[in-house]
Amino acid sequence: MFSRMDAHLAAKDELRRLLRRIAKRLGLNAAAIEIIGARSEIVTHGRSARICGPQTCADFVRILVQGAAKIVCRPERGKPFIVRFAAPGEFLCVPQPKKAAGYVIEIVAHDDVTLALLTRSHMLEAIAAMPVSGVGQLASWSFRAPTRLLFEKLLGRRLPLPARVAIELKDLARRFAWREDPGVVIDLDLSRQELADLTCASPARISDAMKKLRMQGLVDRLGRKIVVTDRLLEADHVGPRDEDD
């Protein structure tokens, strides 16, 4: 029988595997990976659980090991929207909000998730074991600020909706997908409402945008999953910028 200890050890092994896979991009060396693996605490959250917000994310460094999480922006005025889905191997962080920011960012479990938690002192221990060149890479890639993601999202709102949907689906396809010719299947249970929240649109307009993309041969369906075709994966942009959205 698969015990709780077995699950804990399996999650630690998966954490090390994820870190080795992305080590070159993050600037991690073998010593830092071993410290993170040994010092981290494994925790789980159920679907839709709040993982952290501005007042709690600074306590620990959180690394997503299994499942998917949503980075959600909650403005003082207007509806909340999804800034991005986080995938396994990503570091989850939320900035302390400025008084005049007008919004807060929090991280919510999309489905059942497993996280590795590190105290700040243990993370500093891992950083101390890294070469100097790797520290800059780690700061640049793993702690990509949600505020930067939010800025990119707001810039993208000027694009027609089909183009916004295509951009988000390409991003998801790079991080949550398996190959299914002639494209990839996004391995994420994504509702129409969530796709609307991801693109700052209504569910009805999302249906129209998806129809346009399917007619262009850019997306398809495999059961309840979205298929992103090679044509979209290889495209620089979708449709003219002045297309009605």
CATH number of the domain bearing residue 196: 1.10.10.10
Mean local confidence (pLDDT), 3-17: 86
Residue 62's domain is classified under what CATH number? 2.60.120.10
Q: How confident is the model at residue 240 (pLDDT cuts 50, 70, 90)?
A: very low
Q: What percent of the chain has pLDDT over 70?
A: 87
Q: Measuring CA to CA, which residue among 90, 84, 111, 88 is closest to residue 189? A: 111
| Mean pLDDT across 42-59 | 85
Residue 241, Cβ density class (10 Å: 0-12 exposed, 13-18 middle, ≥19 buried): exposed
Stated pTM of the model: 0.85
Average pLDDT, stretch 153-180?
Answer: 88
User: pLDDT at residue 133 above 70?
Assistant: yes
Q: Is residue 241 part of a domain?
A: no
- Residues 174 and 188 grouped into a single domain: yes
Domain shared by 140 and 167, yes or no? no
Asked if 97 and 165 sit in the same domain, the reply is no
Cβ atoms < 10 Å from Cβ of 140: 12
Give burial (CB, 10 Å; 0-12/13-18/19+) of 171: middle
Report DSSP state, residue 78: S
Q: What is the mean pLDDT of residues 196-212?
A: 94
- Please give the residue range of the domain that contains residue 33: 4-154
Please name every residue paired with 227 in a beta bridge, in sequence order, or none if there are none: 185, 220
Confidence of residue 99 (pLDDT cuts 50, 70, 90): low
List CB contacts of 113: < 8 A, sequence separation 6 or more.
Answer: 44, 45, 49, 51, 64, 65, 66, 67, 68, 69
| Percent of all residues in the chain with a pLDDT value above 90, rounded to a whole number | 53
DSSP-based three-state secondary structure for 92 = strand
Alpha-carbon distance of 54 to 90, in angstroms, equals 18
Among 117, 135, 154, the domain-final residue is 154
Domain co-membership, 150 together with 165: no
Is the pLDDT reported for residue 156 higher than 80?
no
Structure confidence at residue 192 (pLDDT): 92
Work out the pLDDT band at 6, boundaries 50, 70, 90.
confident
Q: What's the pLDDT at 132?
A: 85
Q: Give me the chain's average pLDDT, please.
A: 85
Average pLDDT (112-122) is 94
Q: Are residues 104 and 174 in the same domain?
A: no
Is 86 inside any structural domain? yes
Residues 70 and 87 in one domain: yes
Name the domain boundary from 154, 187, 220.
Answer: 154
Asked if residue 63 has pLDDT above 70, the reply is yes
